[in-house]
Structures are given as C-alpha cells and as structure tokens.
Amino acid sequence: MIGIVDYGMGNLFSVSKALERLGADYFVSADQDKLLQADALLLPGVGAFRDAMERLPAEMIKEFAKTGKPLLGICLGMQLLFESSEENGFTEGLGLLPGSVRRFPGRTPDGDQYKVPHMGWNRLEFVKESPLLKNLEEDYVYFVHSYFVNAEKSSDVLLAKADYHEQVSAVVGRDNIFGMQFHPEKSSKLGMALLNNFLIMVEERKAIR
C-alpha cells in the first residue's frame, strides 16, 4: 500500500489518478501513524520550499526513511529531500540526500537570457543504473520548476539528468530514497513507466522484508 503524504501543497489528484491507472493500492492521508505503516511513501509538492517545510511532517518522514521502505519525492517533493534551498532565503530541508537547491539564474554565462520557470518537455539522460530506470529508454518528460538541485553536490545520487541551460538533476536515488524533479504523472509513456518501476521496486522490497 502506497501512502501519499497530504500536507496541503501537493498535486494529489493527478498523482492519485496515475497510481489508479497503474492498478496500485494507495491512500492519501495526513495521519502520521497511518503513513508510517505504508509500504512506501510518495511525497508530492507544488509551491515554495519554505512553506512546504513549515507544513511538512518532517520528523515522521525522517523516521519512515530509517525503516528502509521506499520513499519517492516528486517535483518540490524531490527538492525537500535535500539539505537546503535558497528559495526565499536559506531554508533547511529534510537532509535525506546530499545537495542544495538553487534558482535558475535566467542568464547563461555568455549573457543570453532564458525563461524561468522552466516549463516544458526535456529529454532525460540516464547516468547510473537503478531499479527506477530498469528496462527503460531515454525520452522526454514534463518539467515545471524555477529551482533545481545543484548536481555538483549530488553526483553520488544522480540517476538521470536533463539540460535547461544548467544541468538539472532529474532523477535521484540512494538506498531507499528517490526523487523525480519532473512530473511523471504528466510525462506520458516514460513517466508512467517510471512510476510503475517504483511500484515494482516496492513489491520486491516488501517481499524480502
């Protein structure tokens, strides 16, 4: 059973519908005791990093992470897994993965301007083998974000990257902690395949617990 964390800042409907289409058993809840009993947690997120950290049941999520059960952050939910963000001033994150979150500068080193937020389809480039990427081919996924994880500080957890004038850490993972900067539920075939691989991984890990 997948627990979707409801802390008032996630696109719960689209994520829930994606899991429904994949035939997954899931529930949406803000009940921390119930969420701790889930086989895996999904942490969605839309909005500002600082606001999210103020609303998030941070200690419960850290406790869940220690169980070894899979945890997947999506979009802002992925950024929250890292150590800090510069959005609206310095804000500490969950610290489950190494690295920081910073804003797209909106200007290349040559002085050319580009649009922020990054909105649209960009191609994933796989970097490391992972259960999330198993049997998949590189393709396009859908991004909506103004902030991104600094890949230089998260190279040990970088599974797939994309390019939007900067190197964007698009899929990250270490041990039982995973994240996707894009919206897999809005990313057509590859996005659904990634979510399905996460569900397969949850079942495999459940079987050996």
Residue 17: how many CA atoms within 13 Å on its side-chain side? 7
Instruction: Using only the alpha carbons of the chain, give its radius of gyration.
Output: 16
Question: Using the 8-state DSSP alphabet, how is residue 79 labeled?
Answer: H
Six-digit token string for 23: 């035939």
| Selected catalytic residue, list 20, 63, 75, 204 | 75
Q: At what angle do helices 12-21 and 188-208 cross, to 10 degrees?
A: 70
Whether 20 is catalytic: no
CA–CA dist 181, 76 (Å, integer):
7
Residue 162: how many CA atoms within 13 Å on its side-chain side? 24
CA–CA dist 190, 196 (Å, integer):
10
The residue count for the chain: 209
| Selected catalytic residue, list 86, 185, 203, 204 | 185
| Selected catalytic residue, list 20, 92, 183, 203 | 183
Six-digit token string for 19: 């899991």
Six-digit token string for 205: 């890990």
Whether 183 is catalytic: yes
Cβ atoms of residues 187 and 120 within 8 Å:
no
Number of Cβ within 10 Å of residue 105's Cβ equals 12
Whether 145 is catalytic: no
- Residues acting as catalytic residues: 75, 183, 185
